[in-house]
Amino acid sequence: MQQSVELRREDLKEEYNLEQFDAYMTVKAFFDKASGDEVTALKQMISSYLDFRAETSEFLTRSCAEVCGDICFKTGLSDCCMHEGIITFFADWIVNWLVSSKEETDVLLNALYEPFRDDKCVYLGPLGCLWKIKPLNCETFVCKQARADIFLKNPEAEQVYEDMLKKKKTFSFPDRPVLFDSIEKFFMDRGVDSETMYFHKGAGLLLIKQKAGVV
């Protein structure tokens, strides 16, 4: 595999990959020049979110991993990891960058140059997702078949899952001030722009903010 320094934007053809490339480069450019105070401020911002993600990961691994692996990943169906279904928020990039090494972020860039397949996410590798901290929508998605198999046998797990989805909204559903919106503003205030800033550019999320009176 060629090294990331050799990878060029013009070599990408898919619109999704181009958007992801631009998000990667935007975040990289910021952190290449970020001050220690800025990095510290961001790490403080995401502290409680990382706690939530650790709890979420532990629950999903314990309750869902085996079932999801059998009915999806091992069969190659990858229903929850289809190319067009993966939404990466700008905040997903920031969180992942703050906890990743250069080698771990390079893996994401390199993945964009793998041969295109429309039956799986570009970030789905042989051992699973290539992100250190998966995009939030990916982490919390459990398909209908998996839910039926898991929750029929373990109703208590279903309640935990529903509570998890409610807590997810406190970080990402902008009917109130939420972390994902605040992260975008932090960067926009510093002149950073990205098409993945959906909390400030996405019609659906902007409508939620408007109805809730969130500025």
pLDDT value, residue 9 = 92
pLDDT above 90: percentage of residues in the chain: 65
Residue 82's pLDDT band, with cuts at 50, 70 and 90, is low
pLDDT value, residue 143 = 78
Q: How many helices and strands, by DSSP H and E, does the chain display?
A: 12, 2
pLDDT value, residue 115 = 85
Residue 4's pLDDT band, with cuts at 50, 70 and 90, is very low
Distance CA 43, CA 47 (A): 6
Backbone phi, psi, residue 129, to 5°: -65, 140
Write out pLDDT tens, residues 136-181: 998 888 878 778 888 888 888 889 999 999 999 999 999 999 999 9
How far, in Å, are 9, 11, 106 from residue 2 at the CA level?
A: 14, 13, 11
pLDDT value, residue 80 = 64
pLDDT value, residue 68 = 74
Residue 21's pLDDT band, with cuts at 50, 70 and 90, is very high
> 129 pairs with which residues across the strands?
124
pLDDT of 103 > 70? The answer is yes
Residue 192's pLDDT band, with cuts at 50, 70 and 90, is very high
pTM: 0.90
**Tokens representing residue 91 in the block:** 């905040």
Residue 78's pLDDT band, with cuts at 50, 70 and 90, is low
Backbone phi, psi, residue 35, to 5°: -80, 160
**Tokens representing residue 206 in the block:** 């902007």
Contact call for residues 106 and 149 (beta carbons, < 8 A): no
DSSP state, residue 80: G
pLDDT of 40 > 90? The answer is yes
Please name the residue ranges forming H helices in 125-202: 136-139, 144-153, 155-172, 179-188, 198-201
